[in-house]
Chains A and B, each alone.
Chain A
Amino acid sequence: MFDDFFIRALIAGIGIALVTGPLGCFIIWRRLAFFGDTLAHSALLGVTLAFTFEISIALSVFIISSIIALILLKLQKNTKLPGDALLGLLAHSSLAVGLVVIGFLSFIRFDIMGFLFGDILAVSTSDLITIWVGGTLILFVLNKIWKPLFASTVNYDLAEAEGMSPEKANAIFTVLLAAIIAISIKMVGLLLITGMFIMPAAMARNLSNNPRQMVIISIIGGLLSVLIGLFSSLEFNTASGPSIITAALFLFILSLIKFKKNSELKQ
């Protein structure tokens, strides 16, 4: 009924949405939207290095994004610049360095648009394995650190005082972010990955009154965005990545309408 590439795109998209749902909630709770963006920007540098040294893109992006994230944690402790300025500094410098390196790689045919916006329809079977194995690992680790991570999200001092080692949980969480960006960059692209994090979670916030519920709704929202986005891109022949994000935007607007009705009822 559908072409193989479309089925693969569906499986890939579902795998990514399952992981970005819960991680997106933490990104929103911890006000890290710009942080996710910074990691995604640094991914371009990772991609170029992967081409230079002929290693796997996922691995290279993961390493670079982790390094950038850990540099950021260090800078936040040791400088007086505000967090958003540091993020901007790292995002744009890694993006610029990435683009400069591309300039030196003139011998390689390099589809930069593909990495900016992703190409979920070009997903191969080995990509699927990366997504599902990597995604399962990420969710497993996230589940392990859930309690300390959530506690430190609510109040860092309290988590530290009651023996939750929040610093460790934060560092692991940062690495998980780098990991999901690494495995999804080819499919969603670095300009759209932050949208996959934030939009389903933002929609879920409008519809939930406790953290667990928000995570579940966020996952459902991500899955729906992938399904609606991919099928409409097939129907209207639009770019698949942006279609998924547009579908997420559509769901977010719907959630706003429902939210208003609810609060009217309460009054």
Chain B
Amino acid sequence: MENLKKNILVKLEKAGVIQNNKWLVKDVSLQIEKGKIVTLIGPNGSGKTTTAKIALGIHKNIKGNVKKFTDKIGYVPQKISIDWTLPIRVTDFMQLTHNLENSEIENALSLTGVKHLIKNDLRNLSGGEFQRVLIARAISKKPDLLVLDEPVQGVDFKGEIALYELIKTISEKLNCGILLISHDLHVVMTATDYVVCLNGHVCCSGSPTAVANNQEYQKLFGDRASTILSVYEHRHDHTHSPDGTVKNK
């Protein structure tokens, strides 16, 4: 029991937020443990980002309980826009919330494959490059808890798979807990330990297989749900070209 407690990084108990007399999300209970990946899925406006922000302590005035057991947090927000008035290079951005050695910056950037951009202006990066920098920044200080809000948006297909593999490796190597928000059901089902399906509240949760078989989940995602299940059942032994055709290894 003592051990179990130590492994918990964040615990939400019936947490929720009301804004303008409307629940953004209600009664969410979940916990994130060391070395485990928890994924939030759900349609637009179902409260995924809000739930992540509750866990991070960004939302004040929340209902319910949130207990945070770590301060070493890496966060990849869903959206960041850099104002033109602010001159900032990748290397400056990497040190936004903590100081890093040059070698630490380079290591983190090469993990996500963007080391060559270190001196570039942050605003001149493409969407995919920017996401890679965001992920590199979040993992650079070896956090206990990583919160990734759609971390691979805009990344090309091959890079997407590589980044999800990287996220998986990081969680194992650093033994950190990860809260992942993803639209990519395929990835969710193959790379996660625990899935929470949201739709303004927790509509179902559990292991990927349990959620995939859940009726509520199937109702929410319709036809896609059943195809995903079949994807989950087969072992991935090949890669795909950008147009979706199968390339054997």
Contact = CB atoms under 8 A, between A and B. Distances in A.
A28 B85 CA distance: 7
Interface in B44-87: 53, 56-58, 71, 73-75, 77, 80, 82-83, 85-87
B165 interface: no
B164 interface: no
Interface stretch (A129-137, A158-166, A181-189, A235-243): A158-166
B53 A157 contact: yes
B89 A209 contact: yes
Interface residues of A, number: 25
B221 interface: no
B96 interface: yes
B87 A214 contact: yes
A34 B83 CA distance: 17
A28 B56 CA distance: 29
A185 to B, nearest CB: 26
A160 B96 contact: no
B73 A157 contact: no
A209 B96 CA distance: 16
Contacts of A209: 87, 89, 121
Contact of A154 (B57, B58, B71, B96): B96
Given A147-B97, A210-B87, A211-B86, A158 B92 contact: no
Nearest to B68: A163
Contacts of A154: 80, 82, 86, 88, 93, 96
A72 to B, nearest CB: 19
Secondary structure call for the B interface: loop
B96 A163 contact: no
A160 B57 contact: yes
Interface string B101-127: 000000000000000000001000000
Contacts, number: 68
Contact of A161 (B73, B82, B85, B98): B73
B196 interface: no
B178 interface: no
B24 interface: no
Contact of A29 (B83, B92, B96, B97): B83
Contacts of A161: 53, 56-58, 73, 75, 77, 147
Given A29-B83, A154-B82, A154-B96, A163 B73 contact: yes
Interface in A193-250: 205, 208-214
B97 A162 contact: yes
B121 A29 contact: no
A211 B92 contact: yes
A174 to B, nearest CB: 19
Contact of B86 (A147, A153, A160): A153
Given A158-B80, A160-B58, A211 B97 contact: no
Contacts of B56: 157, 160-161
A93 B10 CA distance: 47
Contacts of A214: 87
Contacts of A31: 83, 85
Secondary structure call for the A interface: helix
B180 to A, nearest CB: 15
A29 B86 contact: yes
Contacts of B71: 163
Given A210-B88, A210-B89, A158 B97 contact: yes
A209 B97 CA distance: 20
A52 interface: no
A151 interface: yes
A155 interface: yes
A209 B86 CA distance: 9
B77 A157 contact: yes
B85 A205 contact: yes
A162 B73 contact: yes
A73 B82 CA distance: 23
A158 B75 contact: yes
Nearest to A29: B86
Indicate the member of A151, A161, A163, A214 with the most B CB atoms within 10 Å.
Answer: A161
A150 interface: yes
Interface string B203-237: 00000000000000000000000000000000000
Contacts of B96: 150-151, 154, 158-159
Q: Which 5 A-B pairs have the closest CB atoms?
A: A161-B75, A161-B56, A162-B97, A29-B86, A160-B58
10 contacts: A147-B97, A151-B96, A154-B80, A154-B86, A159-B97, A160-B56, A161-B53, A161-B57, A205-B87, A212-B92
Given A147-B97, A157-B58, 15 more contacts: A29-B85, A31-B85, A154-B82, A154-B93, A157-B53, A157-B77, A158-B77, A161-B73, A162-B74, A162-B98, A163-B73, A209-B87, A209-B121, A210-B88, A214-B87
